[in-house]
Amino acid sequence: MDNVFGFGHNATLLVWALLAIVFLVVMIAKFRWNPFVTLLLSALLLGFLAGMDSQALIKSVTGGLGGTLGTIAIVIGLGTMLGKMMAESGGAERIATTLIDRFGEKRVHWAMMIVGFIVGIPVFFEVGVILLIPIVFIVARKVKMPLLQIGIPVLAGLSTVHGLVPPHPAPMIAIDAFKADLGKTILYSLIIGLPTAIIAGPLFGKWIGKRIDVSPPENLAKQFSSREKGDLPGFGITLFTILLPVILMLAGSIASIADPQAVSPVTRFCAFIGNEVVALLIAVVFSLFSLGFARGFSKTDISRFTHECLAPTASIILIIGGGGAFKQVLINSGVGDAIAAIATQANVNVLLFAWLVAALIRVATGSATVAMTTAAGIVAPVLALSPGANVELAVLATGAGSLVLSHVNDAGFWMVKEFFNMSVPQTLKSWTVMETLLSVVALALIMLVSVFM
């Protein structure tokens, strides 16, 4: 029977993947090896153990690194420039001060969750982190709260939307595969997503913030907190500047939903300016005027800002690329397929099945988008044979599964680790637990709603 299903081979692949992950964690956490070097070594180790051809392995490593950084490197570079202009002009401080004044110091972490939830609707997780990290640093400094008590709610808001709430691209993949109703899915996603984000965000953030004491990376904290002008810019122009890429991406998403075949030139134009790279580029150029020249900065000042802000991001970009290389080897070695094969043999409730398939692929590959895309293809035929199933809730179950247990094969794991200046064990105890909490709480609420729907 094992030979029929290939279970023996699948189990062996899972053992090799586990061994490579243990090697990675031990070398970084215990022996303090450089994460980028260790990620590449772990990817090569897994490939050889899994029996990959040496040339195919090299291609997987370079392709995974390049594929991951193809967009993220540009996003981090442009987002850091936007963050630098926000900091130097006092814009980030203006938003932080306004949030504190409106919500009060004791409740500002709730406001941060809402900000993350709203900003995350049209943008990818990495873009949202880049846009909001300067505000996180300044709010935490001003209210003297633990950094994670402010940061975790933002991450929870961004991540919840990434997995559950249309028109974010990841849920839209499952909506299309399952032939779900968009309006109903949005309604269910808000009913389930908001309480999920509250539990994993402000509530968990307050708890973990008291137990893990971290400070922002000194170089990033300095550039995001220092500014040269004494007065602060207006709240309206500052908010518009930081939300400009969000607005452009939202316009692109709405246009693609209204005209999925992109027949209209307007749709194609909106899709172009709604691309995260183009939207961020437009926002950065706009910020040079709204937060630069309009604030009295000279051409020399602005040139210096946009150059000096990039140096601290070099190591972050390399580490994220290393995570992408490791992820690609996991996929190409067959570990992702092994996980899917094992999951499809489970005889469980279709909603739980959708969550389980996405969760296992997420753990194996590290990518929420890959997990949701792959799981949608596996679950769709099962849904077609389950006439009583609620397909909208199946979309959310798949999305919830795609968020679970982010660890060392996830580029987002390394981004959070580096931006919040945490060790690998600290990141596992905070970020990984938060992601898992999001996933499990969302699943529990989905199962509860399914009783009545």
**Per-residue tens of pLDDT for the chain, all 453 residues:** 344 444 577 788 888 888 887 787 778 767 778 778 888 998 899 899 989 999 999 999 999 888 877 777 887 788 778 877 877 787 767 877 787 788 887 888 888 888 888 767 656 677 678 777 888 888 888 888 888 888 899 899 888 888 887 766 667 677 777 888 777 887 888 889 899 999 998 999 889 888 888 877 776 666 665 555 557 788 888 889 878 887 887 788 788 778 878 778 888 998 899 887 898 899 899 999 998 888 888 888 888 888 877 766 677 678 767 777 877 887 788 876 776 666 556 667 788 888 988 888 787 767 676 677 667 766 776 777 766 778 889 889 988 998 888 877 777 888 888 888 888 888 899 999 999 999 999 999 999 988 887
Q: Please, which residues have CB within 8 angstroms of residue 291's CB and are 6 or more apart in sequence?
A: 85, 86, 88, 89, 91, 233, 237, 238, 241
pLDDT the model gives residue 2? 44
Asked if residue 389 belongs to a domain, the reply is: yes
Calpha distance 208→224 (Å, rounded)? 24
CB under 8 A, 24+ apart: contacts of 273-277: 273/248, 274/122, 274/248, 274/249, 274/250, 275/249, 276/71, 276/75, 276/123, 276/124, 276/127, 276/245, 276/249, 277/71, 277/74, 277/75, 277/78
Residue 388 burial (C-beta neighbours within 10 Å; 0-12, 13-18, 19+): exposed
Asked if residue 296 belongs to a domain, the reply is: yes
**217 touches 80 (CB < 8 A):** no
Asked if residue 11 belongs to a domain, the reply is: no
Asked if residue 185 belongs to a domain, the reply is: yes
Based on the structure, what is the number of domains in the chain?
Answer: 1
Calpha distance 25→242 (Å, rounded)? 36
pLDDT the model gives residue 322? 79
Asked if residue 294 belongs to a domain, the reply is: yes
Asked if residue 10 belongs to a domain, the reply is: no
Asked if residue 392 belongs to a domain, the reply is: yes
For 177, the domain range is 62-452
Calpha distance 112→243 (Å, rounded)? 15
Calpha distance 39→320 (Å, rounded)? 10
**131 touches 119 (CB < 8 A):** yes
Asked if residue 17 belongs to a domain, the reply is: no
